[in-house]
Structure 1
Amino acid sequence: MTPADRISVVTAVDGRFRTTSVCLGVAYGARHDPADRGGLAHVLEHLLMSAPVSGVGPLAQHIERLGGSVNAETGPEQMLFSAQVDADDADEVVDLLLRAVLTPELDAATFDTERAAVLREIEAAAADPMDTVQDAFLSALFPDHPLGRPVGGTAAGVAAMDLEGVRRVHRDALLTSPMALAVVGPRMPAGLNATGHAPPAAGTPRPPVLPGPARPAGPAWPDAFAWVAVGGRSTALTDTGRHRYTVLANLLGGHASSVLYRELRVGAGLASSFQAWDRGYTEAGAWRVLIGVESGNGPEAVAVVTRELDALATAGPTDADLEAARRHARMRLLRDTETPLEHARLLASNALSQDGPWDLDGELGKIAAVTRDDVRAAASALRDGLVTVVRPEAA
């Protein structure tokens, strides 16, 4: 069986569209990189979009010449390759996308160029505290664990890579990983078969690696503007209670109806830029609030987050706040599924990570079912294991 034969295909056909959005998801990410070659998945992602394919040159350039858009990204557990093109170009683009990822023409010149580009990205990210604080947070939350590695890799690891090593990982790891192709458009591209829901993506399963204890440490506050991440571990991606953490993130999000907005921005005037999110992975999840704080405001901002988590863990949210948070979570899903390219990304990603078919109405129902007691339980679990990281740190 070839890799192409193992790809699960899921579609959302809508005759009103005049564009086709596609996303190929691969269950290979930064956590699967060799320990001494952090960033290999990221480099490989760059190569697959930039290497010549089927006589048309680099895939990204060809799609852009067609007037379409293309993107690729590497996460801790997945790589996503996506494009949106005129529906009349969909047959060609799907074929080229599969060729680019499955049978790439990797050459030394492209490797050298893209490795240099990744090294520049790492250097730029290291100068941005908003980037470095999130890597540092995950490192503290999952110390000595693959989930704690920076997704982009390290300069030393990337500089030590060679083309043969990248080819080997492509052949032995990426091509044996589960894959799913999502298509959102007016019709099915030629040569694809789908029933509307993807079956479980075939591929080599990887055993989970249970994380050890988190490594909380007191932040060294700088005498300057800084970014601070406050949060803890949530539950694994397939856990039935995951949606309580989604709702909790919306209760403490950056929108004007959130509990934290009232207390942190309106009440205390400590920050105007903050957000909350939750991410689920194979063994556990990560939930955090990210806040931009002026000099001297950091400790008090963290205290506000802690107090709000305490209050939610003790009494839970009011009916009005709970309903507002559920509505925000619902609208996020609706916006994504009504944006064709985001819909394709959701379908591909969830086809790789869900035990069964991903269904929008089912997801909305799970959000609507989150109760006050569910939120209390999530807030209590987080409160008892908070990790706080700030960047830049005091010299």
Structure 2
Amino acid sequence: MTDQTSTTRVAHLDGGMPLLLTRTADRRTVGLALSLGLGSRDDPAGLDGAVHLLGRLVMSVPLQGGPSLGERVQRLGGTSNAVTGPESLTLHARVPGDDAPAAAGWMLDALTQPALSNEALDRERRLGARESAAGPVDRADALQPAFLHTVLPGHPLGRAASAAPGIAGRDALEPLSQMHQRVLATVPMALACVGNVPEAELRNRMSPLAMARAGGVRPCRSSQAPVSRPAPPDPAPPDPVWPDVPCWLLAGAPAPAATDPRRDAFALLGHLLGHPPSAGPASLTYRRLRNGSGPAHAFRAWTRTYSDAGVWCLLAAADGADGGALARTLRGELTRLARRGPARNDLAAAVRQARTQLLRTAADAMKCATVTASRYCVTGAVWNPYAEAARLARVTAADVATAAAAVADGLVVAVRTDEGARDAWAPPEP
């Protein structure tokens, strides 16, 4: 992975919306992603879950008097979904190459001209409430609100996000529609296409009205105002009272923002201590946490970066009686890394793991499109996996030691009781 040149070309649709084109060797399928620089942290007061609900509606309401976007893509033999993150709402799809122009046009129509109705709103609210009651698929989602509230006090990312909107009844449609119209006028948008689709064919399948509503080069969040650093957390609270039953632990600390060059050391710290999809023997904590007498059944570590903040996390499953030992083991490993830094071969292995993860993402057309579109909306920069790999290779052991010291100093712990913590698991990559 030595090519330092981005393979993504930036064009603009009529009206100005960025069109991010990445050519690949695969001529059979194409990855598409249409992203808004608006996420759960932007839910208006009293409208918790509004952005998530908007994404559900965009996928499911009738499109120009016919089937919904989700149904149309599936009829092509493709897959599609909407993903709501803290700072972006992204529609993504993978379709046969010949159908990509039509699918891209439908995505833009759905996002800019959804047929919002009280009936559709009530349906999606009910479905969302049922899914929320069933519990999150990812255990980290259950712990993250309390965790972020403690790690990033007073920051919008520390506000508990909800997939079940706090708006109800027919009074909900008007404020949701108003939010949608405001978004179209003020929030950055970007369409990414990963595959071999001629630009002219993409443009020809997009309606002038949709392009006009999505048009205009609007500033990204990171350039709208000076980057604000969250207030430092209060002195680390004592470890929680550990239950007598299996539990999940989420431990972590503040980390650099998406455009901060120090973020790469925190990312490698995650690989050193057990990066997803599953922590293996190369992880420094593997033998300590997952041997026959170790305190953890399963664990993973990662870093999430946002426009003006970031977090480093480790999620682990353990018996409640072992929770204290698990937390002490993590703190001990962080302290050791802060004092000595990682050994050369351990750091090299972490760099290779990170590079392989970048290669997997870049090789998956839909994942690549999703990352490209959402990052462009958040940071205003084109995602370049080759340049990112080169940056990671330049991280030193001293850089990682500094990151480990910062995590150790700001470490907080959240715990959730769950009988499912006994189960073997392979969590999705964050």
**TM-score, length-scaled by structure 1:** 0.91
Shift of 1:130: 4.5
Alpha-carbon contact 2:190-2:376 (below 8 Å) kept: yes
Can you list the C-alpha shifts for 1:203-253, whole angstroms capped at 9, x where unaligned?
475545542232543313221111101110000111011111110000011
- 1:135 pairs with 2:145: yes
Q: Distance in 1 between matches of 2:168 and 2:138?
A: 21
Shift of 1:175: 4.4
3-state SS in 1 of match to 2:58? helix
- 1:371 pairs with 2:391: no
Cα separation, partners in 2 of 1:3 and 1:46, compared to 1, 3 Å: farther
Cα separation, partners in 2 of 1:171 and 1:4, compared to 1, 3 Å: farther
- 1:248 pairs with 2:264: no
Give the one of 221, 225, 237 matched to 1:217: 237
Residue 286 of structure 2 is matched in structure 1 by 261
Give the one of 152, 163, 178 matched to 2:188: 178
Residue 8 of structure 2 is matched in structure 1 by none
- 1:202 pairs with 2:221: no
Structure 1 stretches lacking a partner, 5+ long: 194-199
Residue 252 of structure 2 is matched in structure 1 by 231
Structure 2 stretches lacking a partner, 5+ long: 1-11, 205-215, 419-430
May I ask how many residue pairs the two structures share in their alignment?
Answer: 385
Shift of 1:116: 1.2
- 1:354 pairs with 2:364: no
Q: Distance in 1 between matches of 2:142 and 2:183?
A: 28
3-state SS in 1 of match to 2:101? helix
Can you list the C-alpha shifts for 1:75-121, whole angstroms capped at 9, x where unaligned?
10011100011111112111110000011111111111011112122
The 5 A counterparts of 1:85-100 are: 85-100=95-110
Letter in 2 for 1:230: A
The 5 A counterparts of 1:5-154 are: 5-125=15-135, 130-153=140-163
Residue 179 of structure 2 is matched in structure 1 by 169
Residue 7 of structure 2 is matched in structure 1 by none
Residue 203 of structure 2 is matched in structure 1 by 192
Alpha-carbon contact 1:125-1:131 (below 8 Å) kept: no
Cα separation, partners in 2 of 1:390 and 1:4, compared to 1, 3 Å: farther
Alpha-carbon contact 1:22-1:82 (below 8 Å) kept: yes
Alpha-carbon contact 2:125-2:164 (below 8 Å) kept: no
Greater Cα offset, 337-346 or 298-307:
337-346
Cα separation, partners in 2 of 1:345 and 1:129, compared to 1, 3 Å: closer
Alpha-carbon contact 1:28-1:174 (below 8 Å) kept: no
3-state SS in 2 of match to 1:270? coil
**TM-score, length-scaled by structure 2:** 0.84
Letter in 2 for 1:192: R
Cα separation, partners in 2 of 1:284 and 1:15, compared to 1, 3 Å: closer
Shift of 1:20: 1.4
3-state SS in 2 of match to 1:259? coil
Q: Distance in 1 between matches of 2:162 and 2:80?
A: 19
Shift of 1:355: 4.5
Cα separation, partners in 2 of 1:99 and 1:348, compared to 1, 3 Å: same
Shift of 1:191: 4.0
Alpha-carbon contact 1:129-1:392 (below 8 Å) kept: no
Alpha-carbon contact 1:201-1:351 (below 8 Å) kept: no
Letter in 2 for 1:213: P
The 5 A counterparts of 1:251-290 are: 251-253=272-274, 254-266=279-291, 268-290=293-315
Shift of 1:186: 1.9
Letter in 1 for 2:127: A
Q: Distance in 2 between matches of 1:288 and 1:128?
A: 14
Residue 196 of structure 1 is matched in structure 2 by none
Cα separation, partners in 2 of 1:37 and 1:220, compared to 1, 3 Å: farther
Shift of 1:57: 1.6
Q: Distance in 2 between matches of 1:173 and 1:122?
A: 26
Can you list the C-alpha shifts for 1:291-336, whole angstroms capped at 9, x where unaligned?
0111201110011000000000000000111111111111100011
3-state SS in 1 of match to 2:15? helix
Shift of 1:170: 0.5
Letter in 1 for 2:203: L
Identity percentage of aligned residues: 36
